[in-house]
Amino acid sequence: NLRCLVNTTASLRQCKLSPTLSSLLTSSLSTSSTAGSMHNKIAEMVKANKVVVFMKGVPEEPRCGFSNAVIKILEFHGLKPDVYSAHNVLDNEELRQDIKTFSDWPTIPQVYFNGEFIGGCDVLIKMHQNGELIEELKKIGIKSALLAAQEEKKE
């Protein structure tokens, strides 16, 4: 029977709990503060560049087919690795899990434009196929190489 509200580790110490329960709750509280810290880091990461990709591997060496497809689509539109930020989730298990919670999207890769979640590989493929990606890039001040090529053909 708990008769105290547990909001912090300090409050937890004031409650009379079994050592096992106390240990479990303390562990849970410290994990959630770490998750909050990672949430803040991710929020900063997605705003650090106009285009941000969380992927498996690095642009030069993607480690899954979906990450590779996202990079190929970006390259097709003229975005090179120096134009966008890419974060390898395989280097950081905490990032790998927390990015899914942050975006409420269960899979990697994840793409952000101007700090806003766009989607994963399937969404980017669909946007590329229907021309929406050209428009979304234009909105954030990036002219797609595909658009430039289309304009040259018209001339």
- Note down pLDDT in tens along the chain; length 155 residues: 333 344 444 444 444 544 544 444 444 444 455 557 999 999 999 999 999 999 999 999 999 999 999 999 999 999 998 889 999 999 999 999 999 999 999 999 999 999 999 999 999 999 999 999 999 999 999 999 988 777 766 66
Q: Rounded distance, CA 113 to CA 53, Å? A: 9
Q: Are 128 and 76 in contact (CB under 8 A)?
A: yes
Q: Which CATH superfamily is domain 43-154 in?
A: Glutaredoxin (3.40.30.10)
Map out the domains of the chain as residue ranges. Answer: 43-154
Entry pTM: 0.75
Alpha helices in the chain (DSSP H): 9-14, 19-47, 65-76, 93-103, 121-130, 132-139, 145-154
Separation CA 107–CA 66 (nearest Å): 10
